[in-house]
Amino acid sequence: MQQDKEINVGIGFATGRKSFQRILKTNIYNWRESGLTKERNIRLNLLAAYDLKYSNTKAKDYTNVSAKLLDLIDDTYFIGKSAIQAEIDYLIQENVINQEEGRLVFGRGYAAKRNIVLYTALKNNMDYLVFLDDDEYPMAVTNTHSSAIWGGQHVLATHLQNIEEADITNGHHCGYVSPIPYIEFNDIMTEQDFRLFIEAISNDIINWDNVHSVMKNGGVTYADTKILVSNEVEEVQEINNTKFISGANLCINLTKPDRVSPFYNPPGARGEDTFLSTCLSQRKVLRVPCYTFHDGFSTYNHLMDGVLPIKLKYIQADSAAIATRFYLACIGWIRYKPLLLYITQRECYEEKIEEMREHLAATLPKVCAYFEREEFSNISKELEHYHRNVKKHYQQYIETQQIWARICEFLADKHPYQP
């Protein structure tokens, strides 16, 4: 990163949790501890797109940031429903998009929230945009001699050290990354049954080998000590024309806006990071050595108060809340898998769908019986619905990129980037 010019950095959140203020406080003090808030040539800008319906929150749950924290950053952009509509109206007035196109790119869902953050950063001439999640903390945990050992992570600083010569940098995740609980296999559901089920609903990153390894650790992903003590950066390699990234602990280089792609997910699905991954074949994507701890079950909020457990709990399939989270994750995966297959493996798409049907038919009754929840059978219905609509969703995926290209062209003309 050049030291002789001002760097305008955006830090983006797509959020809907009441814990946002605590997450923000932890991160801002982390930036101060790493020295970034004192750097005269670095401007730190907070961008938070919030959803009030996600957990019944109010705007002040996001906007009411203490003066002590505001003193440590340079500018804030809080983006609610009315602000999003105002930007859509602005682009319509300028004959860039129409209302329907605005809803596609900036409407509902995680992809839309990330897109409005990305748009706001571009509009305000930011050099880089780092996405953080509202359930991840700037720390890493390792499993050493059967004890959890904790260490702070300079997430933002690590990205800024590596992003200048890349299009995207992506860090690592530890903690409760996977929603799949620890499972004691039995006669109702064997390990082979569960493997077939996971292979039916998963993708190239969420695969059985990874899942099985995490399950053996009780659902916990521990940080790799070799990565923690290394400054090495690795280039992300393609798998089926896709460079897989995650949606947070993610930095996007905005200095060349024509190389920036939008997020997309099928209606009601997730996978916005996965579909961005399919647009990165001609982009330089680096994996950088920093971790965030993912508190996927919202059970470790006390970490932000300095309470560091020496043992991490096994996430076992013995509670309604854990079963529900796993079920919702399965629904989310199955909803976006048809489109992912259509984009990346179209030559064998029908064959893959049929294989999924067979595996689900063989395993879903056992999954339902094991978790004592018949709603798992809905997974097959969701597969058929998203399979029937895959061409429509593919068209939306393409249209999102085309609309985004027009928006970026407009911004380059109306709000030209100043290097």
Residues 147 and 189 in one domain: no
d(CA 377, CA 218): 25
Q: Please, what is the angle between helix 349-371 and helix 378-388, to 10°?
A: 160
Residues 250 and 331 in one domain: no
Residues 206 and 98 in one domain: no
d(CA 13, CA 46): 8
Residues 89 and 196 in one domain: no
DSSP-derived 3-state class of residue 125: coil
- For residue 198, which amino acid is it? I
**Tokens 């004592």 label which residue?**
372
Q: Confirm if 173 and 136 have CB atoms less than 8 A apart.
A: yes
Determine the Cα angle at 248 with ends 243 and 254, to 5°: 70
d(CA 302, CA 323): 24
Whether 325 is in a domain gets the answer: yes
d(CA 100, CA 26): 38
Cα radius of gyration (the chain): 21
> Checking DSSP bridges between strand 285-294 and strand 234-235, what pairing results, if any?
antiparallel
Host domain of residue 201: 183-217+317-388
Q: Comparing C-alpha atoms, which of 7, 293, 264 is closest to residue 118?
A: 264
Residues 67 and 207 in one domain: no
Which phi and psi (to 5°) does residue 15 adopt? -130, 165
Whether 38 is in a domain gets the answer: yes
Whether 99 is in a domain gets the answer: yes
- What is the pTM (predicted TM-score) of this model? 0.94
Residues 239 and 323 in one domain: no
Residues 330 and 229 in one domain: no
Q: How far is CA 75 from CA 72, 90, 289, in A?
A: 10, 22, 28
Residues 304 and 335 in one domain: no
Q: Confirm if 312 and 148 have CB atoms less than 8 A apart.
A: yes
Whether 53 is in a domain gets the answer: yes
Q: Comparing C-alpha atoms, which of 290, 11, 7 is closest to residue 154?
A: 290
- pLDDT, residue 418, reads 62
**Tokens 């955006």 label which residue?**
10
Residues 120 and 160 in one domain: yes
Residues 356 and 405 in one domain: no
CATH number of the domain at 298, please: 3.90.550.10
Residue 48 gets the label, from left (phi > 0), alpha (psi -120 to 50) or beta, of beta
Residues 322 and 275 in one domain: no
d(CA 277, CA 280): 6
Whether 419 is in a domain gets the answer: no
Give me the tens of pLDDT residue by residue for the chain, a chain 419 residues long.
555 689 999 999 999 988 899 999 999 999 999 999 988 899 999 999 999 988 889 999 999 999 999 999 999 999 999 999 999 999 999 999 999 999 999 998 889 999 999 999 999 999 999 999 999 999 999 998 789 999 999 999 999 999 999 999 999 999 988 888 888 899 999 999 999 999 999 876 667 777 887 887 878 899 999 999 988 999 999 988 899 999 999 999 999 999 999 999 999 898 999 999 999 999 999 999 999 999 887 778 788 888 899 988 888 877 888 889 899 989 999 999 999 999 999 999 999 999 999 999 999 999 999 999 999 999 999 999 999 999 999 999 999 999 999 999 999 887 666 66
Split into its structural domains, the chain has a count of: 2
- pLDDT, residue 3, reads 57
Whether 1 is in a domain gets the answer: no
Whether 2 is in a domain gets the answer: no
- pLDDT, residue 415, reads 67
Residues 83 and 158 in one domain: yes
Which phi and psi (to 5°) does residue 151 adopt? -150, 140
Whether 237 is in a domain gets the answer: yes
